[in-house]
Amino acid sequence: MQFEIRHQDGLARGGRLTLDRGVVETPIFMPVGTAATVKAVTAEELCELGAEIILANTFHLMLRPGTAVIHAHGGLHQFMHWERPILTDSGGFQVWSLARSRQVNEQGVRFRSPVDGELVFLGPEESIGVQHALGSDIVMVFDECTTYPASRQQARASMELSLRWASRSKCTHGTSTKALFGIVQGGVYQDLRRESLLGLAGLGFDGYAIGGLSVGESKAEMAQVLTDLVPNMPVQRPRYLMGVGTPEDIVAGVMQGIDMFDCVLPTRNARNGWLYTRDGIVKIRNSRFASDTSPVDAGCHCYCCRHYSRAYLRHLQQSNEILGARLCTIHNLQYYLDLVRDLRQAIAAGRVADFSADFFSRRGVSWPTVA
């Protein structure tokens, strides 16, 4: 993996990530393909939308269909018919948020599968092993997501455990040519976050992620973590803000120097009829769109906006039609991928501060660190 910073505009960075399976221009948004499919869309549609890399989940895939099935296909790319890069989450976050009867010890986590109730064990060696079997292009260390709220003592213990697991993850990763990213933990405690970062940097990773945010803390707390942490992250390595977030979060994150994002919001909200536009969210099930023959966003060039009206999308949503989920997903992903493309262009042109100001002003909202 190579990472080159090509433009700098304030704290914001425009970069290029070169992986075996393709080039990723940053800042980038990674659509989430939890269960070996970005929900409702095909690989060809993702390519047309401009997706350069997607995320998949170790936790879900090891439980269903199981690593062996995917490995028998030659890996996740072949299994799901996606040729471009894939970043795999390590399962640390999902163990924390989805597993039943979770028991954590030094070795790893034992839990009951939400799929079939079976007892499963996942530790750093197991997680990295699964990610290698999947053929992941960017492997994430196995970490413990620190609960919010957590006392300083709890957050320290959890962060230190994650550091030890990061070290074991790196050992297991060995001489693999795939990228391995560390994950900074530490809750909302600045000193713990810095200690986590220093520990990870000492081990040495291809990229650094910020985990344990968007887990219940306030936007102000999240902003404070970023403001303090991001400037201290290794300059020459990609910075990945995990599981974040809204369009506002992404613009604010880029302004702080983040390079990579992933989030289920555009795809999940699409299925519920919440559509992103440059002027804010359109809730397409609202009766005021019943006869609206205009597209969701007249300025959008996506397949949905080129061919279908708000009234048609509303009708599909009201009728629970699969095509509704498809079209809304395409639109929302186009919005997110256009947003990061616009951010990249603004950074290259040295006008990202103006872009950010216009973005927040047009939407009539602010973000803690921007206000």
Q: Which is nearer to its own copies, 64 or 164 (CB)?
A: 64
Phi/psi of residue 142, each to 5°?
A: -80, 125
Torsion of Cα atoms, 321 then 323 then 328 then 333, to 10°: 140
- What tokens does 19 get? 């992986």
- Closer to its own copies by CB, 95 or 316: give it: 316
- Of 44, 38, 42, 43, the C-alpha closest to 60 is 38
- The distance from CA 345 to its chain's CA centroid, rounded to whole angstroms, is 21
Which DSSP letter does residue 266 get?
Answer: H
Instruction: CB nearer to its own copies: give 152 or 307.
Output: 307
Shortest separation between residue 265's beta carbon and its own copies, angstroms: 17
- Summarize as ranges the residues that interact with its own copies (CB under 8 A): 35-37, 39-43, 64-65, 68-69, 72-73, 79-81, 290-291, 293, 307-309, 311-312, 314-316, 318-319, 321-323, 325-326
Q: How far is the CB of 65 from its own copies (least distance, A)?
A: 4
Tokens of 226: 């970023």
Q: Which of 137, 206, 249, 262 is catalytic?
A: 262
Nearest approach, Cβ of residue 311 and its own copies (Å): 5
Q: Return the sign of the alpha-carbon dihedral for residues 107, 108, 111, 114.
A: negative
Return the SS3 of 22: strand
Q: Which is nearer to its own copies, 82 or 355 (CB)?
A: 82
Which of these is catalytic: 89, 137, 143, 297?
Answer: 89
Task: Specify the residue, 39 or 283, whose C-beta has the smaller distance to its own copies.
Answer: 39
Q: Between 152-173 and 124-134, two packed helices, what is the crossing angle to 10 degrees?
A: 50
Q: Are the C-beta atoms of 43 and 83 separated by less than 8 Å?
A: yes
Question: Beta strands 239-241 and 260-262: pairing type?
Answer: parallel
Output 43 or 225, the one with its CB closest to its own copies.
Answer: 43
Please indicate whether residue 89 is annotated as part of the active site. Answer: yes
Q: Round to whole Å and give the CA distance between 87 and 57.
A: 9
The residues, ordered by sequence, that sit 6+ positions from 174 with a Cβ below 8 Å of its Cβ are: none
| CB of 226 closer than 8 Å to CB of 369 | yes
CB within 8 Å of 3: residues ≥ 6 apart: 15, 16, 17, 18, 206, 207, 236, 237, 238
Closest by alpha carbon to 263, among 326, 344, 167, 333?
Answer: 333
Catalytic status, residue 292:
no
Q: Which is nearer to its own copies, 77 or 132 (CB)?
A: 77
Q: How far is the CB of 119 from its own copies (least distance, A)?
A: 20
Spatial distance between the Cα atoms of 233 and 229, rounded to a whole number of angstroms: 7
Using only C-alpha atoms, what is the Rg of the chain? Answer: 20
Q: Cβ of residue 88: shortest distance to its own copies, in angstroms?
A: 16
Q: From the CB of 31, what's the least distance to its own copies, in Å?
A: 13
Which residues are designated catalytic?
89, 262
